Amino acid sequence: MSAAYYLQKANRSAILFEKSPRLGGVIETNRIEGCLVEGGPDSFLSAKPAALQLIKDLGLESEVIGSNDHLRVTYMVRHSKLVPMPDGLAMMIPTKIWPMVTTPLVGWGTKIRMALEYFRKPEVVGERSVAEMIRSHYGQETVDYLAEPLLAGVFGGDPEQLSANAVLQQFVELEMKYGSLTKGTLARRAAAPATTGTLFRTMKDGLGTLPTAIKNAIAGKVEIRHGTVERIEKSAHGDYLVNGQPVSHVIVCTPAWQAADILRSIAPKAAEGLGAIGYNSSITIGLIYDRATFPHPLNGFGFLVPAKERRRMAACTWVGTKFMHRVPDDKVLLRCFVGGTGGGLSDTQLVEEVRVELQGWMGINVAPVAQNVVRWNRAMAQYTVGHQARVAAIVDELKVLPGIHLAGNAYEGIGIPDCIRMGKTAAERCYAAPS
C-alpha cells in the first residue's frame, strides 16, 4: 500500500493486486465492546522515520499518539511470578548498576558476568546466532530471561536461529568498536543527541487508520483488484504479465514464500532463495473484562513469558495502561500473544488455556465479557543465520529482471517503518527507471 501511495503521488499509474477482500495485510483494527482491539501490530518505532513521514504525507500527524511512558513497567515471568524488568536496559543490554544488582530476574552469577563484560576488548567475529552472541557476553541466563522473550516479541523467533548480524546489527557494530556491549551502548548514548517523544507511536483510532487513509488517497488513481496473483510472466514485448495484465514494473510485496511461487517461472534461482526464508505464525487474543470486578491493578504495560517458563502465552499487553483512547473507563483489555499456530486448538480451547495462565500470573478469576482471536499464519519472516547473504543473492538473481522489485517484511526489517520504507524505495525505483 505504501508503494501504491508513493506511485500515485508521483503521478504514475498503478494497479494494486490484493488477495484478501480487506486491505492492510496484518494491520487489522477492530472495535469490540467500546474497546479498540488491534488484531495485528499495535504501534511502530518512532526512531525509524518512514512511518511518521507517510503519516505526515497523508496529513494525519495530529492523530499520532505515543505510549504512556510515565507508566511504563514491563514484567517478566520468572518462577510463575511477574518480576519487573530492571531499569536501564537497552533491549537486553544492562547499562545501570544498581537496578541490575537488586533485580531478582537473574542470579548472582549473571550479575557478576554482566559487570565483568564491561572490560571486554574489541573483536571481529563471524556471523553468529543472537543466542551465541549474547551468551558470549552475558551468559545463558541473559539469553533465557532477556534476549529470548524480548526478541520473541518482535520476531516470534528462536534466538538460537536468528542472525545477530541481521537483527542486532547495531550491537554487532558496537562489539567491533568497543568489545563490551555495555560500554558501547553507554558511549553511543552519550554521543547521540537526546531524543524527544515516546519510543512507540500509534494512531488515535488504531493502526487501521493508515490503510484506510491510503485507500482514500489512491482512490480513482490506483486501480485495486482483489484476487490472488498466481504468477508473473514475461511478455513477448519484454515487459511483464501479472495475471495476464501487461505492466512495465512489478513490486512484489507478498510474503517471501508467496513471492517464490509467483516468480518461479521467470526467476527459478531467486525463487529458491525466497522459499528458503523461514516464517513463523502467531495468534493474538484480545480479552475484554468489566473493570468493576477485575482483580488486578494493571500497573504497567504488561508482561513477557520466557520460553523457559512458557506454557502457551508468549506475552500480554495491558492495553489501557500502554495507550490512551483504547479502553473505556468501565472496561479492561488484555492483548495476549501465542506463538505458532496454536497446536490444533480451537479458539475456545486457546482462550481457556490463556485464562488459566492469566489466573496463575495475575490472579484473574473473572470471565471476559468478549474475546477476539486472530490467527496470523506464516506472517513473520525469520532472519536466521545467513539471512543477509540470502537476500543479497536474491537481489543479485533478480538483476536480470530489471522491472521486478521486492518489498515487505522478509528482507531488510520486520517492523512497519521498514516495510513502508521498502515500499517507498521500490516505488522510487519504478519511476526512476526509464519507461
Q: Cα separation of 323 and 433, whole Å?
A: 43
Query: Which 202-231 residues touch ligand FAD, going by CB under 6 A?
Result: 228-229
Residue 339 sits in the site that holds ligand FAD (CB under 6 A): no
Residues across the chain: 435
- Looking at residue 104, the DSSP 8-state letter turns out to be S
Interface pattern 21-40 for ligand FAD (x via CB under 6 A)? ----xxx------------x
Q: Which residue, 111 or 201, is less far from ligand FAD as judged by CB?
A: 201
Residue 318 sits in the site that holds ligand FAD (CB under 6 A): no
- For residues 100 and 233, the answer to whether their CB atoms sit within 8 Å is no
Interface pattern 283-302 for ligand FAD (x via CB under 6 A)? -x------------------
Residue 416 sits in the site that holds ligand FAD (CB under 6 A): yes
Q: Cα separation of 214 and 240, whole Å?
A: 26
Residue 380 sits in the site that holds ligand FAD (CB under 6 A): yes
Q: Which range, of 3-11, 80-88, 105-113, 408-416, touches ligand FAD by CB under 6 A? A: 408-416
| Crossing angle between the packed helical segments 169-178 and 181-191, to the nearest 10 degrees | 100
Residue 379 sits in the site that holds ligand FAD (CB under 6 A): yes
| # residues contacting ligand FAD (CB under 6 A) | 30
Residue 412 sits in the site that holds ligand FAD (CB under 6 A): no
Half-sphere exposure of 365 (CA within 13 A, CB side): 2
- Which three cell numbers mark 423? 515500499
Q: Cα separation of 130 and 159, whole Å?
A: 5
Q: Which residue, 63 or 132, is less far from ligand FAD as judged by CB?
A: 63
Buried b or exposed e, range 100-136, using 16+ CB within 10 angstroms: beebebbeeebbebbeebeebeeeeeebbbbbebbbe
Q: Which residue, 7 or 27, is less far from ligand FAD as judged by CB?
A: 27
Residue 20 sits in the site that holds ligand FAD (CB under 6 A): yes
Q: For 170-223, give the DSSP string.
A: HHHHHHHHHS-HHHHHHHHHHHSPPP-S-SEEEETT-TTHHHHHHHHHHTTTEE
Q: Which residue, 56 or 291, is less far from ligand FAD as judged by CB?
A: 56
Q: Which residue, 44 or 171, is less far from ligand FAD as judged by CB?
A: 44
Residue 54 sits in the site that holds ligand FAD (CB under 6 A): no
Residue 280 sits in the site that holds ligand FAD (CB under 6 A): no
Q: Which H or E run includes 9? A: helix 2-9
Residue 151 sits in the site that holds ligand FAD (CB under 6 A): no
| Crossing angle between the packed helical segments 50-57 and 416-432, to the nearest 10 degrees | 70
Which of 6, 17, 318, 323 is the binder for ligand FAD (CB under 6 A)? Answer: 17
Q: Which H or E run includes 134? A: helix 130-138
Buried b or exposed e, range 146-185, using 16+ CB within 10 angstroms: bbbbbbbbebbbbbeebbbbbbbeebbebbeebbbbbbbb
Residue 41 sits in the site that holds ligand FAD (CB under 6 A): yes
Residue 258 sits in the site that holds ligand FAD (CB under 6 A): yes
Q: Which residue, 42 or 141, is less far from ligand FAD as judged by CB?
A: 42
Binding region for ligand FAD (CB under 6 A):
17-20, 25-27, 40-44, 228-229, 253-255, 258, 262, 282, 284, 376, 379-380, 408-409, 414-416, 419
